[in-house]
């Protein structure tokens, strides 16, 4: 009974958006309401020297962007909430895609002025593929932007999902007066403040003349007309449709000014799903089933630069995790015990004695884990859907300081274990090639190697189009291919054969000339 209750009260979700829509600021304010922090750090303000709680890596503080997914947990009312704040920049998309495999629902942040942007569309595709329930928070209402009805049409069209507003703005920009909370039938009046919360007035009947006293007769008339239009155009909010991933409730507010965030959170904890069943190759795992199981979806090197420690993030899928208990590491086929499992508040961590399905915990990693690894009470299970995608940009990595080659090797080994970049060794000349999704990753790797490992690297251009993993049922065909293409062959970190095509034409010709070879563009095959 205790197990079921603990699992039912958990809400594990990711916050996703295009860069600069205010995702990290929204995370801050949710933590503020949960009492997890007591003062919010403006992510980009020079006046407030405190940076966002979830952006704790040095490079994130300098640039004002998130470059790694942060994990934070806190209690709110009767619920245990686990937030994953993801990078919005497309160069870090792979980290975000993998994070979406570890959550039960998603909040998408949209900027009222910019509307739906390309990265938001891509992330929505991943949510749709996995049928993940989505909630939308339209941010920056204290600035001028698109007409709310036009924006709702754009959301439906671009994200290919039905929407239903559960709050409605009264003006915007300098004239912004607040929102009417349709879900709770309240009038929330706006007073700009980064640290305090605006007042709410219970307002079940918007036709009451009392409304004029709060917002004036013109705005009261417009609000009534807007609400009538919403009732006429949009069907009633249906929780089942939301849970199936077919309908997205929409809230309006200003995260920076603490406005509309509590309304979003109050509705979210009530309607968002508790941990959901997860598919493995062997069977479907239900959260309430007793034996413990979980998978590693992210590895972070240097959470504590003083100790060079890696942390593997484990999403618990079923049962209960207990400290100092033996669990089976499926890939190694051996039992392991963890005395230092941790729960997170960005990089602040505390040791946990127990955790339940839906929770995300950190396990100290000395090279035991790879992304996708499974831990169980003993049953052999393999979780699906944690691929590494074929990189799109490539560079040779060279040591800039021969005296620090040991530090460089350790650094590049740990950083590529995080799954944001991939390391290939060219079999023709033995040189190491780093492949990433975007250019900015190379800057991050170079910065982190220098500041976290004391190693300097140089990048050298290499002209490559695609890296693809190859396999064949015929060893002879595989050997023949590797012999013919030996200058294009490399090994990945797992020792698998990778074909490095330098153009689309070369790749197409190889596929045509070697029909017995299978070419894979993600590492999960």
Over range 138-149, report the average pLDDT: 94
Closest by CA to 163, choosing from 115, 96, 219, 126, is 115
More confident residue, 130 or 354: 354
Q: What percent of the chain has pLDDT over 70?
A: 84
Listed in sequence order, the residues at least 6 apart from 70 whose beta carbon sits closer than 8 Å to its beta carbon are 27, 54, 55, 56, 84, 85, 344, 346
pLDDT tens for each residue of 259-287: 888 889 999 999 999 999 988 888 889 99
Number of domains in the chain: 3
Which of 250, 271, 292 finishes a domain?
271
Concatenated DSSP letters of 32-96: HHTTS-SSPPPSS-SSS-PPPTT--SHHHHHHTS--S-EEEEEEETTEEEEEEEPP-SGGGHHHH
- Which of 87-91, 250-254, 418-422, 442-446 shows the lowest mean pLDDT across its residues? 87-91
More confident residue, 365 or 457: 457
Over range 169-177, report the average pLDDT: 90
493 in any annotated domain: yes
Q: Is the pLDDT of residue 91 over 60?
A: no
Residue 316 and residue 437 in one domain: no
Residue 38 and residue 126 in one domain: yes
**Do 148 and 252 form a contact (C-beta atoms < 8 A)?**
yes
Report residue 244's pLDDT band, with 50, 70 and 90 as the boundaries: very high
| Residue-number span of the structural domain to which 61 is assigned | 2-271
Q: Is the pLDDT of residue 230 over 60?
A: yes
- The 8-class DSSP code of residue 149 comes to H
**Do 274 and 11 form a contact (C-beta atoms < 8 A)?**
yes
Return the pLDDT at 387.
Answer: 59
Return the pLDDT at 524.
Answer: 61
Over range 501-524, report the average pLDDT: 89
Return the pLDDT at 36.
Answer: 52
Residue 7 and residue 143 in one domain: yes
364 in any annotated domain: yes
Closest by CA to 296, choosing from 331, 320, 346, 253, is 331
Report residue 306's pLDDT band, with 50, 70 and 90 as the boundaries: low
Placement of tokens 């294009």 in the chain: 488
CA atoms within 13 A on the CB side of 125: 8
- Which of 92-106, 222-236, 407-421 shows the lowest mean pLDDT across its residues? 92-106
pLDDT tens for each residue of 394-433: 999 999 988 888 999 988 887 787 666 889 999 988 999 9
Residue 372 and residue 415 in one domain: no
Residue 101 and residue 163 in one domain: yes
Residue 73 and residue 206 in one domain: yes
386 in any annotated domain: no
Over range 177-186, report the average pLDDT: 88
Closest by CA to 51, choosing from 73, 74, 70, is 70
Return the CATH number at 178.
Answer: 3.40.50.300
In order of 128, 227, 334, the CA distances from 83 in angstroms are 20, 32, 31
Q: CA 121 to CA 91: how far, in whole Å?
A: 15
Mean of all residue pLDDT scores within the chain: 83
For the chain, the helix, strand and coil percentages under 3-state DSSP, each to the nearest 5 = 30, 30, 40
Residue 332 and residue 354 in one domain: yes
More confident residue, 46 or 332: 332
Encoding tokens for residue 395?
């560079």
Decide the pairing of beta strands 134-139 and 247-252: parallel
Residue 39 and residue 108 in one domain: yes
Return the pLDDT at 196.
Answer: 54
525 in any annotated domain: no
213 in any annotated domain: yes
Q: CA 181 to CA 259: how far, in whole Å?
A: 12
Over range 124-150, report the average pLDDT: 91
Residue 52 and residue 195 in one domain: yes
- Which of 425-434, 441-450, 460-469 shows the lowest mean pLDDT across its residues? 441-450
pTM for the model stands at 0.76
Report residue 385's pLDDT band, with 50, 70 and 90 as the boundaries: low
Return the pLDDT at 58.
Answer: 55
Q: Is the pLDDT of residue 52 over 70?
A: no
Over range 509-515, report the average pLDDT: 93
Concatenated DSSP letters of 170-224: ES-GGG--EEEETTTTEEEE----SSS---EEE-S-TTSTHHHHHH-HHHHHHHH
Q: What percent of the chain has pLDDT over 90?
A: 40
In order of 31, 73, 88, 293, the CA distances from 80 in angstroms are 12, 7, 25, 20
């Amino acid at each position: 009974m205790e197990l079921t209750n603990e699992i039912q009260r958990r809400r594990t979700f990711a916050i996703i958006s295009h860069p600069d829509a205010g995702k990290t600021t929204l995370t801050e304010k949710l933590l503020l309401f949960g009492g997890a922090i007591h003062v919010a750090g403006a992510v980009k303000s020079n006046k407030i020297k405190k940076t966002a709680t979830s952006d704790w890596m040095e490079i994130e503080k300098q640039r004002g962007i998130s470059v790694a997914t942060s994990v934070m947990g806190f209690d709110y009312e009767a619920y245990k909430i686990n937030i994953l704040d993801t990078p919005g920049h497309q160069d870090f998309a792979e980290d975000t895609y993998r994070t979406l495999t570890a959550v039960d629902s998603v909040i998408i942040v949209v900027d009222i002025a910019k509307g739906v942007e390309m990265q938001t569309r891509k992330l929505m595709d991943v949510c749709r593929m996995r049928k993940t329930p989505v909630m939308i928070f339209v941010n920056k209402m204290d600035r001028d932007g698109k007409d709310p009805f036009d924006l709702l049409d754009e959301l439906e069209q671009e994200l290919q999902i039905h929407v239903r507003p559960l709050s409605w703005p009264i003006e915007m920009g300098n004239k912004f007066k607040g929102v009417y909370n349709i879900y709770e039938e309240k009038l929330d009046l706006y007073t700009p403040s980064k640290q305090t919360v605006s007042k709410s007035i219970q307002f079940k009947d918007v036709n009451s003349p009392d409304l004029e006293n709060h917002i004036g007769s013109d705005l009261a008339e417009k609000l009534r007309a807007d609400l009538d239009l919403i009732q006429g155009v949009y069907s009633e909010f249906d929780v089942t449709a939301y849970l199936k991933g077919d309908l997205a409730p929409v809230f309006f507010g200003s995260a920076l000014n603490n406005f509309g965030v509590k309304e979003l959170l109050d509705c979210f904890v009530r309607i968002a799903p508790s941990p959901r069943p997860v598919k493995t190759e062997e069977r479907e795992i239900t959260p309430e089933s007793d034996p413990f199981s979980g998978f590693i979806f992210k590895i972070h090197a240097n959470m504590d630069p003083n100790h060079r420690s890696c942390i593997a993030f484990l999403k618990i899928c079923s049962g209960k995790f207990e400290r100092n208990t033996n669990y089976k590491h499926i890939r190694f086929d051996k039992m392991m015990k963890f005395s230092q499992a941790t729960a997170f508040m960005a990089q602040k961590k505390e040791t946990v004695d127990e955790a339940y399905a839906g929770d995300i915990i950190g396990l100290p990693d000395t090279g035991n884990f790879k992304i996708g690894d499974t831990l169980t009470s003993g049953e052999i299970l393999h979780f699906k859907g944690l691929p590494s995608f074929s990189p799109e940009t490539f560079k040779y990595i060279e040591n800039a300081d021969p005296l620090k080659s040991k530090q460089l090797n350790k650094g590049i080994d740990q950083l590529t274990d995080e799954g944001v970049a991939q390391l290939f060794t060219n079999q023709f000349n033995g040189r190491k090639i780093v492949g990433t999704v975007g250019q900015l990753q190379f800057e991050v790797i170079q910065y982190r190697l220098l500041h976290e490992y004391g190693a300097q690297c140089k990048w050298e251009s290499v002209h490559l189009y695609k890296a693809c993993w190859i396999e064949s049922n015929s060893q002879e065909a595989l050997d023949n291919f590797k012999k013919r293409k030996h200058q294009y062959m490399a090994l990945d970190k797992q020792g698998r054969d990778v074909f490095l095509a330098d153009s689309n034409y070369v790749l197409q010709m190889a596929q045509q000339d070697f029909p017995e070879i299978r070419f894979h563009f993600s590492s999960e095959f």
